[in-house]
Amino acid sequence: MKQDVRTNVIPPLKFGEKFGFLTFSTASNVVYQFKSIYYLFFLTNVLKIDVLVAGMILTIGTVWDAVNDPLIGFWSVNHKFKNGERCRPFALWFAVPWAVSVVLLFCDFKTSQTAAVILALVIYFIFESFNTFVAIPYNSMGGLATNRDADRRSINVYRNLGGCIGSGIGAVACLPLLKLFGALDNGGNLIDGSSSRGFLLTAMVMGAVCIVGSLTHYFTTKERVVQISDDEDHVSARSAAKMLFRCKSWVLNMLYIICYGVNNVLIMSSITYYATYVMGSTGAATIIQAVYLVVSIITTVLTGPLDRLLGRKRTMIFAAAVLILGKVWFVIDPFAVGAIYLNAVTVGIGLSITFVMFNTNRNNIADLIEWQSGRRIDSLVSTGDNLAAKLAQAGATQLLTLSLHMAGFNEALPAQPDATIATINALLGWVPAAVTFVMLAVLCAMNIEKDMDSMNAEKAARGISVSD
């Protein structure tokens, strides 16, 4: 039986349940990092699709992902599974379809260029659809498993730790797998004739990890938070939109997530090109990723204490400041080895803190919207802001590929023109720095702690239990 949050504060979560969040986050980030770092590279360098066309495939697919997010989230708000839950069962029912779609992304069907482009686009649509279904529990369960703010923050810390593990599987551990399966030589460069098979076998390993992570999450977690009111009427699309946009914290957190997502796309998609054409070896990206991951793990563990010490707003601003400062040396001298590693260190610090903060914000925002409207719409809180964030990420992907195309990028050339190198450097340097300045402006206007304090005071005045 569920513990009713209307009358009782939920007890602290045990390690096993937090570990379930970690495993699911690991699977999600395997997909995200492996796809983000290698999929565009696979399209251009293995399937030999023109970089501009490949960029359009990713952009159109991301637009579809952005559009289907609120559609599926809206359906989830008005749907209950037979066990009475709204979000957790998605991790069970879509584990295998999601994994299969990951494998299909890295299939070379040996067709004509036109057919290859069409197949890539169709498969990308399928992948993004299943990815949305599994993302509902990934983004919503933190607010449904508990109403304790300390546990929600802890859940998001475990999620980010899982993300670091997933990033390691999707990026760092991927290189030896690609070498093992014959996609890359010992120097980290593509092997003609066997590269497509190597990518396919590596993707199959990633798919297996997705299934294990999803099922572990499903069987170790529970939905405990229930709506304060008994209102179960159908929520219209118009009403849902009004609930979201009436909440200032949701709007600002959406902008915060947009800045995070654009930064992530630019940096993660550019690093392989930087390693290949600036440093001289695709394999160099692995070392940079390893530095990023180690720093991310350490930072994630320290995020909780940092949040308690500085408070939510100051912690978010600190992370943004670190992101900006880490770009200074790289912007001045993008060819310095130390500059790219300092860039990786500060990205690991800044993005790790940002991930924990905006997801904890989401959990709080679901409570704020419920208090304002009487309805819990956890799945729409995340899928709604994902619509805007993913449209922005699609724009960032298009910016990346269009910039490379206009700068004369040619995948057949072992050495790229100076204009291409300058573009790659900009995409890792001053462009994400500019995005982070926008993030800082958003954070100056956000004060979710004040909103939560006001809500809790109103609840206490009405005799409703308030979480820690």
**CATH number of the domain where residue 391 is located:** 1.20.1250.20
Q: What is the mean pLDDT of residues 44-60?
A: 89
CB 131 within 8 A of CB 31: yes
Check residue 387 and give its pLDDT.
Answer: 79
8, part of any domain: no
What letter does residue 184 receive in the DSSP assignment? B
pTM: 0.79
245, part of any domain: yes
Phi, psi angles (nearest 5°) of residue 88: -55, -40
Q: How far is CA 20 from CA 23, 144, 216, in A?
A: 5, 14, 6
313, part of any domain: yes
Q: What DSSP line would sit under 396-430, residue for residue?
A: HHHHHHHHHHHTT--TT-SS--HHHHHHHHHHHTH
Check residue 167 and give its pLDDT.
Answer: 74
State how many domains the chain has: 1
466, part of any domain: no
pLDDT tens profile 235-273: 888 888 899 999 999 999 999 999 998 998 888 888 888
Q: How far is CA 104 from CA 98, 196, 200, in A?
A: 10, 12, 8
Per-residue confidence band for 7, with pLDDT thresholds at 50, 70 and 90: very low
CB 348 within 8 A of CB 293: yes
66, part of any domain: yes
Per-residue confidence band for 9, with pLDDT thresholds at 50, 70 and 90: low
97, part of any domain: yes
Structural domain including 59 reads 15-222+235-461
7, part of any domain: no
The tokens for 116 are 């290859």
The residues, ordered by sequence, that sit 6+ positions from 249 with a Cβ below 8 Å of its Cβ are: 361, 364, 365, 368, 446, 448, 451
pLDDT tens profile 53-72: 998 898 888 788 888 888 88
Per-residue confidence band for 432, with pLDDT thresholds at 50, 70 and 90: very high
Check residue 230 and give its pLDDT.
Answer: 66
Closest by alpha carbon to 322, among 368, 263, 282, 373? 263
β-sheet bridge partners, residue 190: 184
137, part of any domain: yes
